[in-house]
Amino acid sequence: MPSALTIRLQIEAALADRIPSALTPGPRILRPMMPTGIDSVDELLGGGLPVGALTEMIGAECTGRTSLALSFAAQITRVEKVCAWVDVSNALSPESAAACGVDLARLLWVRCGVASAKQGPQHSESFTLPEKYRVPPTVKKGLHGGGMGSHPRGEAKGMDDAVSGLLRPAVMTARCAESQRNVRAENEVFKPIAREQFTSEPILRSSGASGHGRPWSRIEQALKVTDLLLQAGGFAAIVLDMASIAPEHALRIPLATWFRYRAAAERTQASVLLLTQYACSKSSAGLVLRLTSKDPLNEGTTVLAGFNRRVEVSRQRFAQVSAGPEKVVSIRKPPQRAGIATWRSETAWVGRR
């Protein structure tokens, strides 16, 4: 009686010319994952974000990219690894990071596009007494007690206008006994103030370097810094935060850059996270997550409670296929993954309910 192994070998040998090693399951490569700290997302991704690969998180503003990335960074710092945050728009809030559980001592924060001169308090306002309240200078007088001022002949100029200004129709009508035409006072109408009028004050306070302006130098700085960090090695995660960069700028980054990052991440076993508004890294990304906004949480009536987030897997390069011989193609369509997960993102000030 031949054993099962012998039979298997015989079958494989018979089918070798058509199907090589037909009954031997192919070797499975277990790719390491790092959890994000959100159960539903980890379950969707089969354990978390891939280590040694490029992960791209796409979405518009307010879709939860930063929350997800910070949650991932918190998991990394919790196991005492270090993480780097390359902030293209200088938009990371350390308070939010700390609230998400990130150990700030293990987070290297690189702020791009910030001139060193702008450091320190941003709302520096100083108070100086206007000149008119100071002790007046001694009045210089001319030879005959006059002079050193406007000429007396100019004093009466404009007097007519001033007097007519004082004698407004309302003042006049109140004193006049004769009947007047009833002039309807116009109702005050609420209108949005014209942009030009309203924005005059804030614009004065801006110091020139608008964060929404030319982002090229900042992007260039960020790409160089990411290169250096990947070369240095030792960082478990490097987050390239381009979440506030418009797609037309982000798409101009050459694809070779992302390919280089992918290779470097694989070599140094670092997770490179890319936060963008539009998919930039194309085929270099090991995982592409698309985040979309859902409704805010309406539980709290007095404070902002949080949001419902939704994430969808757009691309997963090394998806862990369920157990079973991979070479056997089933006749039926295998069960498809849902590819969508939701979670709640609560603000730090909301109490437990």
Partner 1 sequence: MNGQRELYVCLYAKEFPAQAMLRLRPEIREKVVVVMEGEPPFQTVCSMNGKAHRMGVECGMTRVEVDIFDSVTFLMRSMPEEAAARTALLECAGTFSPRVEDQSDRGEFLCVIDIEGIEKLFGVPQAIAQNLLQRMRALGVIASVAVSSNFHTAICHARARPTQTAIIAQGNETLALAPLPIAVLDLSEEHTATFTSWGICTLGALAELPENELVARLGQEGKRLRQLARGELPHLFVSMETEFRLQERIELDAPVELLESLLFVVGVMLEQLILRATSRVLAMASVTIALTLEGGESHVRTVRPALPNNDRQLWIKLIHLDLEAHPPQAAIVSLVLTAESGNTSKVQLGLFSPQLPEPMRLDVTLARIRAIVGEDCVGRAVLTDTHRLDSFRMEPFTISSPQTSYLMLARSSESDKSPAAGRQLRSIEKVVVTLRRLQPIAFEFRNRRYQVECAYGPWLTCGEWWNPMLWNEEQWDLIARADDGDLFCCCLVRDLVQSSWQMVALYD
Residues within window 312-351 making contact with partner 1, judged by CB under 8 A:
343-348
Task: Give the CA angle between residues 46, 50, 53 to the nearest 5°.
Answer: 150
Does position 188 interact with partner 1 (CB under 8 A)? The reply is: no
Among 44, 53, 229, 250, binds partner 1 (CB under 8 A): 229
Among 6, 10, 21, 231, binds partner 1 (CB under 8 A): 231
Backbone angles phi, psi at 243, to 5 degrees: -65, -25
Nearer to partner 1, 180 or 231 (CB): 231
Question: Sign of the C-alpha dihedral, residues 110, 114, 118, 124?
Answer: negative
Does position 70 interact with partner 1 (CB under 8 A)? The reply is: yes
- First and final C-alpha spacing in the chain: 67
With H, G, I as helix, E, B as strand and everything else as coil, classify residue 115.
coil
Nearer to partner 1, 270 or 288 (CB): 270
Does position 304 interact with partner 1 (CB under 8 A)? The reply is: yes
Nearer to partner 1, 235 or 258 (CB): 235
Number of residues located near partner 1, criterion CB under 8 A: 103
Does position 46 interact with partner 1 (CB under 8 A)? The reply is: no
Q: How far is it, in rounded angstroms, from Cα 66 to Cα 88?
A: 13
Among 1, 18, 125, 132, binds partner 1 (CB under 8 A): 125
Backbone angles phi, psi at 22, to 5 degrees: -65, -40
Among 206, 248, 333, 336, binds partner 1 (CB under 8 A): 206
Q: How far is it, in rounded angstroms, from Cα 10 to Cα 126?
A: 91
Among 235, 262, 276, 310, binds partner 1 (CB under 8 A): 235
Among 13, 19, 232, 255, binds partner 1 (CB under 8 A): 232
Among 2, 186, 190, 330, binds partner 1 (CB under 8 A): 190
Nearer to partner 1, 102 or 280 (CB): 102
Task: Kindly state the tokens that stand for 43.
Answer: 């379950």
Binding to partner 1, residues 272-291 (CB under 8 A):
none
DSSP codes joined into one string, 103-158: -GGGEEEEETT--GGG-S-SS-------GGGSPPPPPP--TTS--SSS-GGGTTTT
Nearer to partner 1, 153 or 191 (CB): 191
CB of 124 to partner 1, least distance (A): 7
Does position 202 interact with partner 1 (CB under 8 A)? The reply is: yes
Task: Kindly state the tokens that stand for 294.
Answer: 């859902």
Among 13, 16, 209, 255, binds partner 1 (CB under 8 A): 209
Binding to partner 1, residues 137-176 (CB under 8 A):
none
Reference 257, options 223, 228, 289, 229; nearest CA is 223
Task: Give the CA angle between residues 90, 237, 41 to the nearest 5°.
Answer: 95
Nearer to partner 1, 293 or 314 (CB): 293
With H, G, I as helix, E, B as strand and everything else as coil, classify residue 69.
helix
Residue type, 200: S
Per the document, the length of the chain is 353
